[in-house]
Homo-oligomer: A and B are copies of this chain.
Amino acid sequence: MIKLIIDTAGGDNSPAAPVEAAVQALKKNEELYIIFTGNEADIRSELAKYDPVDTDRYEIVHAPDVITGDDKPTEAIRLKPESSMMKGIKLLRTGEDIDGMVSTGATGALVAAATVRIGRIPGVIRPVFCPIIPDVNGGVCGISDSGANIKCTPDQLLQFAAMGKLYLKAVFGIDNPRIALLNIGTEAEKGDSVHKDAYKLLSKVYGDSFVGNMEGRDLLSGNYQLIIADGFSGNILVKTMEGTALELMKLLKKKIYSKTRYKVGAMLMKSMFDEIKGFMNYQNYGGSVLLGTEKIIVKGHGSSNALSIEKCIEQALTMRRYNLNAQIEQEIAGIQEYMGVYTGEDHTSI
């Protein structure tokens, strides 16, 4: 049996979408058991819309409160223990047989709570938040870290590579991803001492899989499948990419509506624009994951529909079946000898 908590609040389509997703996933996966957290009455009325689900396969934990994007993450943890998310995190910590949690709630609160409250895989310094983005050639690329760790040591960055690599293998079947370090230039000596040291460390441990430093401009190029970054710059990378794509599509739309000739042209190209919109739609690539915690955490986009959340559940199931956390533990132990050598302290001067 694989036991997953489904946070039914906090997303744009909550609780309808998470409940529908869970019902579908239960149908398709016999070993799945679900713990819903959220408003019990609402969850029950959503469940009533579908063929009755065997009551042996789920339970509901009433949690009347909701964490929103307006709550400060650290305050949400302390002040909203009755929220669907914090009750979920508490269950995850205390319930030894619970494997993971899927949530479409506030990212900051989820990452902070899971990092602080859930134990780490032995050897892991800090968990890493890893979303998946598409590249223009139809491939995918993981960003490890994209916001869980503002400041990082070279050892942490190495571990981000170790965890991200196994995650890409488990969920996307990618062997030996092309790993790159986010930096402000491609030369080995670019960036501060942390980046210079991380470069050396990644070269030593991952050899040819580590293709070197990459610049923000190459994000969508398809040249890289796993980007290692401190959480500050990784966050800026992902959000800038997202914002630029959205603003350009908005600009395109505005311009199309400015002239009849453009409207006619756009009609001929409708299926093409739909394809591009699909390409840019995060939801088609599953959720973002927190790696390094003892339990599986999958974060779906706030605007996720039922299908996207079902994908997040499938992702959690795949991670569990692959025994990803055991693999991570082994990989982290295997690179232990490289740890502590590179401190990232200023040892160079221009």
A259 CB contacts on chain B under 8 angstroms: 272
A184 within 8 A of B: yes
Asked if residues A108 and B265 are in contact (CB atoms below 8 Å), the reply is no
Chain A interface residue count, Cβ-Cβ cutoff 8 angstroms: 59
Q: Chain B: which residue is nearest A242 at the CB level?
A: B217
- Looking across the interface, which residue of chain B has its beta carbon closest to that of A147? B184
Q: Is the CB of A241 within 8 A of B239?
A: no
- A233-B233, A247-B136, A262-B272 known; A184-B150 Cβ under 8 A: yes
Report the Cα distance A221→B243, complex, angstroms.
8
* B236-A240 in contact (CB<8A): yes
Verify B272–A269 contact, CB threshold 8 A: no
Question: How long is the Cα–Cα vector from A184 to B231 in the complex, in angstroms?
Answer: 9
Asked if residues B247 and A248 are in contact (CB atoms below 8 Å), the reply is no
A220's closest neighbor in chain B, by CB?
Answer: B247
Q: Does A350 contact B (CB under 8 A)?
A: yes
Chain A contact residues: helix, strand, loop or mixed: helix
8 Å CB contact of A192 from B150, B185, B240, B261: B150
Pairwise interchain contact B220-A243, C-beta atoms closer than 8 A: yes
Task: Name the residue in A191, A219, A232 with the highest tally of chain B Cβ atoms < 10 Å from its Cβ.
Answer: A232
* Contact mask for chain A residues 50-82; partner B; CB cutoff 8 A; 1 contact, 0 none: 000000000000000000000010100000000
Tell me, yes or no, whether A140 is within 8 Å of chain B by CB: no
Contacts of A175 in B (CB 8 A): none
Chain A contacts with B in 157-199, Cβ cutoff 8 A: 182, 184-185, 187, 189, 191-192
Contact B136 A251, beta carbon cutoff 8 Å: yes
- Assuming the contacts A74-B350, A184-B147, A189-B72, asked whether A251 and B279 have C-beta atoms less than 8 A apart, the reply is yes
Q: Mark A239-274, 1 if CB is under 8 A from B, else 0.
A: 111111111101110011011011011111100100
Bound complex: CA A269 to CA B243 (Å): 24
Residues of chain B within 8 A (CB-CB) of A151 are 192
Q: What is the CA–CA distance of A112 and B322 in the complex, to the nearest angstrom?
A: 49
In the complex, what distance in Å separates the CA atom of A231 from the CA atom of B185? 12
Q: How far is the CA of A101 from the CA of B97 in the complex (A)?
A: 68
Provide a sorted-by-A list of 21 A–B residue pairs whose CB atoms are within 8 angstroms: A136-B248, A184-B232, A184-B235, A184-B236, A191-B232, A192-B232, A215-B236, A215-B243, A216-B241, A216-B242, A217-B239, A217-B246, A219-B247, A220-B243, A236-B240, A251-B276, A251-B279, A265-B268, A265-B269, A266-B269, A268-B268
Known contacts A216-B238, A236-B237, A266-B269; 5 further A-B pairs (Cβ under 8 A): A184-B232, A184-B236, A219-B240, A259-B272, A261-B268
- Residues of A at the B interface (CB closer than 8 Å) are 72, 74, 108, 112, 136, 147, 150-151, 182, 184-185, 187, 189, 191-192, 215-221, 231-233, 235-248, 250-252, 255-256, 258-259, 261-262, 264-269, 272, 275-276, 279, 350
List 5 tightest A-B contacts by C-beta distance, closest first. Answer: A217-B243, A265-B268, A216-B240, A216-B239, A265-B269
